[in-house]
Amino acid sequence: MTALLTTIELIKNNNLEFPNNLIFGFTVGEEGLGAKKGMRQIIKDYGRQIDAVINVESHNIGRVTNQVIGQYRFKLSINTKIGGHSFRDFGRPNANVILAQIISDFSNSKLFKEKGKTTFNIAQMKGEGSINAISQTATCLFEIRSEDNQNLEKAKKTLEVIISKYKKQFPDISIEINVSAQVPSVIFQSKHKIYQLTFAVQKKLGIVPKINSGNTDGDVSMAAGIPTVTIGISNGWNTHSMDEYLEKKSVVIGIQQTFTLIIKIIAIF
């Protein structure tokens, strides 16, 4: 946000005019279950008018993201429709146990890596019940990512097979998947002019370019076929942790990068 607001200020203070329009978008809901809803709205409203996107991230100055990592995010819910007393009704299906078994089976399955990295993550495991009550419901958030669409589909199929097994074992229970995000893997070749312009700007500023894959708001515009580059405007580490930090001195060159790249790209696209 700092880089974009400073860029807007520079443009206004210097009365700069451009041959094409600029749209500055400040999005919400990029992470978690937000599923990039802010960027999806921007593309919905303005997509046909957009020739190129510069997506600005806070960390990893020098990054040049040209590939979307395929992503499948959902909430997994178990409902046995019956609880019970932990001793007297022992043997009834326990939602916490079934959820744990599904996670364990998937964790021990083979992830397909021959065409790129494939990962998964589990979060916010929740189950009802007390120490002496059989849990009727349990949920968790589940994410699968892959740099290859075929591998992503194979991982999803593996999960479906595991869930099907428990549905057959416990025909009266409900196992549901509520999808919050499905993002395909998309790649633009690094020789594309938007990346070549980015490399040139970074090298002029003494920034070492590092082309990579990632998941950002840029996923949405890339999936729509719009040339998109994601850049970082600072050095910072421990992303998504309680001790995440940013080096303030690096933001200055990050702002220079953002401003210069906008000037270059708007002149070409």
Torsion angles phi and psi, residue 66, rounded to 5: -120, 5
Q: Are 57 and 235 in contact (CB under 8 A)?
A: no
Q: Residue 222 and residue 232: Cα distance in Å, rounded?
A: 17
Residue 225: the pLDDT is 95
pLDDT at 33 over 80: no
Residue 258: C-alpha distances to residues 36, 72, 101, 136, 184 (Å): 22, 31, 48, 52, 27
Residue 184: the pLDDT is 93
Please, what's the b/e burial string for 17-26 (b: 16 or more CB within 10 A of its CB; e: otherwise)?
eeeeeeeebe
C-beta atoms surrounding 55 within 10 Å: 21
Per DSSP, 82 falls in state -
Taking residues 154-158, what's their average pLDDT? 95
Residue 269: the pLDDT is 84
**Banded model confidence at residue 191, pLDDT cuts 50, 70, 90:** very high
Domain 70-183, CATH class in plain words:
alpha beta
Residue of 2 and 189 predicted with greater confidence: 189
Q: Residue 128 and residue 137: Cα distance in Å, rounded?
A: 6
Residue 105: the pLDDT is 97
pLDDT at 59 over 90: no
Taking residues 154-160, what's their average pLDDT? 96
Q: Are 155 and 146 in contact (CB under 8 A)?
A: yes
Residue 115: the pLDDT is 77
Residues above pLDDT 90, as percent of the chain: 81
Residue 107: the pLDDT is 94
Q: Residue 111 and residue 103: Cα distance in Å, rounded?
A: 14
Residue 150: the pLDDT is 93
Taking residues 39-53, what's their average pLDDT? 95
Mean residue pLDDT across the chain: 93
- Which of 119-123, 129-133, 134-138, 188-192 shows the lowest mean pLDDT across its residues? 129-133
**Banded model confidence at residue 241, pLDDT cuts 50, 70, 90:** confident
Q: Are 118 and 148 in contact (CB under 8 A)?
A: yes
Residue 258: the pLDDT is 95
| Residue 202 burial class via C-beta count within 10 angstroms: exposed 0-12, middle 13-18, buried 19 and up | buried
**Banded model confidence at residue 116, pLDDT cuts 50, 70, 90:** confident
pLDDT at 101 over 90: yes
pLDDT at 125 over 90: yes
∠64-33-138 over CA atoms, to 5°? 135
Does the fold of domain 70-183 match that of domain 2-69+186-268?
Answer: no
Sorted by where each begins, the domain ranges of the chain are 2-69+186-268, 70-183
pLDDT at 73 over 80: yes
pLDDT at 87 over 90: yes
Is the domain 2-69+186-268 a CATH 3.50.50.60 member?
no
pLDDT at 90 over 90: yes
pTM comes to 0.84
- Which of 23-37, 76-90, 131-145, 196-210 shows the lowest mean pLDDT across its residues? 23-37
